Amino acid sequence: MKKLLQLVLVGSLGLMCFSCYYDELPEETDALTEIPDEQEVSFSQDIQPIFSKCTQCHDGNQANPDLREGNAYDAIVPDYVIEGDGENSELFQKSPGNNHPVDVGFVLNADELALIKTWIDRGADNN
């Protein structure tokens, strides 16, 4: 009985030693993709295609703003966009993946968020 108790004690100590090991997780980065200055960011070519993911709700009936093609620019500028200030623009701040108020089942990736922010930072032109 004494040997069994010693065996259980040694086994338990061994398990405890191995259970304290943990993998270090990589640090999360919130860094957006850098958009080079020479790369043009176009509303029609870069931003509107991102909005196509959002039109299930932002369709002019359910949720504002209306992000459907042909309506989106007038619906977001100037109400949701501070031209030249992407960081403080509501459009950027509340994008899926960046504090969207509702879980919509998807998030915009760092490239998409960077395009939106850069487009706003560069004046939010309707190009």
In a domain, 3, yes or no: no
pTM above 0.85, yes or no: no
Task: Return the pLDDT at 5.
Answer: 78
- Please report the DSSP string for 18-45 in residue order: HHT--PPPPPP--PPPPPPTTS---III
Task: Return the pLDDT at 25.
Answer: 53
Residue 41's CB: how many other CB atoms inside 10 A? 21
In a domain, 20, yes or no: no
Q: Which residue has the higher pLDDT, 11 or 43?
A: 43
Mean pLDDT, to the nearest integer, of 43-50?
97
Question: Tens of pLDDT along 24-37?
Answer: 655 454 678 889 99
Domains in the chain: how many in total? 1
Q: Which residue has the higher pLDDT, 21 or 78?
A: 78
Task: Return the pLDDT at 24.
Answer: 60
Cα–Cα distance measured from residue 90 to residue 77, given in angstroms and rounded to the nearest whole number: 11
In a domain, 87, yes or no: yes
In a domain, 117, yes or no: yes
